[in-house]
Structure 1
Amino acid sequence: MSKSIKLIAAFGFIAAISACTSGQTDEEYVVVDPEPISVEPTYTGKYK
């Protein structure tokens, strides 16, 4: 094949690959609520 056809095919291949991967660059953020480290005391009576 001639050089110009190879050059056009290479540019087309690079353009197709870059178009396919451009939508996959979005990052997803996941927010997780942390669990409490200790349990809060509960009222059990005056002198218990």
Structure 2
Amino acid sequence: MSKSIKFLAAIGFVAVVAACTSGQTEEEYVVVEPEPISVEPTYTGKYK
């Protein structure tokens, strides 16, 4: 094989390895507590 084909194959291999290892980072996630949809009714008096 010619040197240029070997060089291009080596560059392609390095690019594939670099692309695969960059996706291996640990993903961060955030848990958010949902707020209540409605508030409980409170007693305000007999006719209010």
Instruction: Tell me the residue number matched to 2:5.
Output: 7
For 2:22 and 2:33, locate their aligned partners in 1 and report how far apart those are by CA, in whole Å. 29
TM-score, structure 1 as length reference: 0.53
Q: How many residues align?
A: 45
Q: How does 1:35-46 map to 2 (within 5 A)?
A: 35-36=34-35, 38-43=37-42, 45=43
Q: Which has the higher helix share?
A: 1
Instruction: Tell me the residue number matched to 1:18.
Output: 16
For 2:33 and 2:5, locate their aligned partners in 1 and report how far apart those are by CA, in whole Å. 55
Compute the displacement of 1:41 (Å): 1.0
TM-score, structure 2 as length reference: 0.53
Q: Deviations over 1:20-46 (max 9, x none)?
A: 0002345x4746546346323144x37
RMSD of aligned alpha carbons: 3.0
Q: Which runs of 5+ in 1 are unaligned?
A: none
